[in-house]
Chain A
Amino acid sequence: MKSAYTWGGILVIVFASVVGDILLARAMKQVGDVHALWHRSGLWTVVSRILGNPNFFLGLTAMTVAFFSLLFALSWGDVSLVAPAAASLTFIGNAFAAKVFLHEKVDRRRWIAALLVAAGVALLAG
């Protein structure tokens, strides 16, 4: 039963992190290249464009949910399971979601990279 809670917690962390990353990435693509924008219109324009973007705040909220679910999951399960499992599943979930929602070209090179990093993180923190 305890392990069901732990895995449920891990799934909530992964879901919230992926939603957060996708929304933040979309927000920053809508803002545009900050180097170019800063050069052209100044820092204030960059800051106001980011703070005026609803996706940025939704992404930030999702990240906050992910952080607090991590705290809860850590109180149910071992840190050596929760942290690496959540981190590596987030890498794989992000590759799927970026392909579907952000229309990124996740080719074989990027899949191999995501899987290698996910496996590496699991080994490193395990």
Chain B
Amino acid sequence: MTFRKYLVLAGVTVFAAAGDSMLSHGMKQTGNISLHHLQGVILAVRNPFVAVGILLLLAFFASYMNSLSWADLTYVLPATSLGYVLLALVAKFALHEEVSPMRWLGIALISGGVGFVAGGPALTAQDVPESLRLEKDSRNGVRTAEMVSGGVRR
């Protein structure tokens, strides 16, 4: 894992959380949209919060696709779930909402889950395309070397 890859994972987390909160804030300003008045959707896009929210969610999608090109789905999903924690912290410290003990427990569980998955390898899939194979092989090489040196020491 390089610094740039951690940055992409941070992008997935932050863009999703920021995009969702922008959209939610904007849609509360625009009001309800019914199936009979679909032109309301077009009016909603003219709200700056909704427009910025959509741009942030596009950025989220780009970084999500980027991360899936070099990491497992079962690595990316838990690793980027810190966004939920981020939303709760924004609610508590920026919006001064009440965060109940149950929610704090939820934050602790998610953080624990992220810690668990982050300690393991990012890519484990067997049928990896050629462009990724080089990196995987070199990593396996390192692991073999470590095992050999460990054996010698013992």
CB-contact partner of B130 in A22, A32, A123, under 8 A = A32
Q: Decide: A28 near B116, CB < 8 A? Known: A120-B110, A123-B102, A126-B102.
A: no
CB-contact partner of A110 in B5, B75, B130, under 8 A = B75
Report the nearest B residue to A34, measured CB to CB: B69
Whether a CB of chain B sits under 8 angstroms from the CB of A36 is yes
Whether a CB of chain A sits under 8 angstroms from the CB of B109 is yes
The reply to whether A123 and B103 contact each other, CB–CB distance below 8 Å, is: yes
Tell me which residues from 90 to 109 in chain A have a Cβ below 8 Å from any Cβ of chain B: 91, 94-95, 98-99, 102-107, 109
The reply to whether B129 and A30 contact each other, CB–CB distance below 8 Å, is: yes
Tell me which residues from 68 to 114 in chain B have a Cβ below 8 Å from any Cβ of chain A: 68-70, 72-75, 77-78, 81, 84-85, 88, 102-103, 105-114
The reply to whether B73 and A94 contact each other, CB–CB distance below 8 Å, is: yes
Decide if the interface of chain A is mainly helix, strand, loop or mixed.
Answer: helix
CB-contact partner of B74 in A30, A95, A116, under 8 A = A95
Whether a CB of chain B sits under 8 angstroms from the CB of A81 is no
Report the nearest B residue to A90, measured CB to CB: B77
Whether a CB of chain A sits under 8 angstroms from the CB of B150 is no
Report the nearest A residue to B109, measured CB to CB: A120
Chain A residues in 8 Å Cβ range of B114: 113, 117
Whether a CB of chain B sits under 8 angstroms from the CB of A2 is no
Whether a CB of chain B sits under 8 angstroms from the CB of A25 is yes
Q: How far is the CB of B146 from chain A (nearest CB, A)?
A: 19
Chain B residues in 8 Å Cβ range of A110: 74-75, 78, 116-117, 120
Chain B residues in 8 Å Cβ range of A22: 73
A interface residue count range (under 10 / 10 to 19 / 20 to 34 / 35 or more): 35 or more
For the complex, what is the distance from the CA of A50 to the CA of B61, rounded to whole Å? 13
For the complex, what is the distance from the CA of A124 to the CA of B117, rounded to whole Å? 20
The reply to whether A124 and B69 contact each other, CB–CB distance below 8 Å, is: no
The reply to whether B69 and A120 contact each other, CB–CB distance below 8 Å, is: no
Whether a CB of chain A sits under 8 angstroms from the CB of B131 is yes
CB-contact partner of B131 in A37, A114, A117, under 8 A = A37
Most chain A Cβ neighbours within 10 Å, of B77, B84, B111, B130: B77
Whether a CB of chain A sits under 8 angstroms from the CB of B153 is no
The reply to whether B74 and A124 contact each other, CB–CB distance below 8 Å, is: no
For the complex, what is the distance from the CA of A94 to the CA of B81, rounded to whole Å? 14
20 contacts between A and B (CB under 8 A): A21-B73, A29-B132, A32-B132, A33-B131, A34-B65, A35-B70, A50-B65, A91-B77, A94-B74, A102-B72, A105-B125, A110-B117, A113-B78, A113-B117, A117-B110, A117-B113, A119-B106, A119-B109, A120-B113, A124-B106
6 closest Cβ pairs, A-B complex: A123-B106, A32-B131, A120-B109, A116-B113, A124-B106, A120-B110
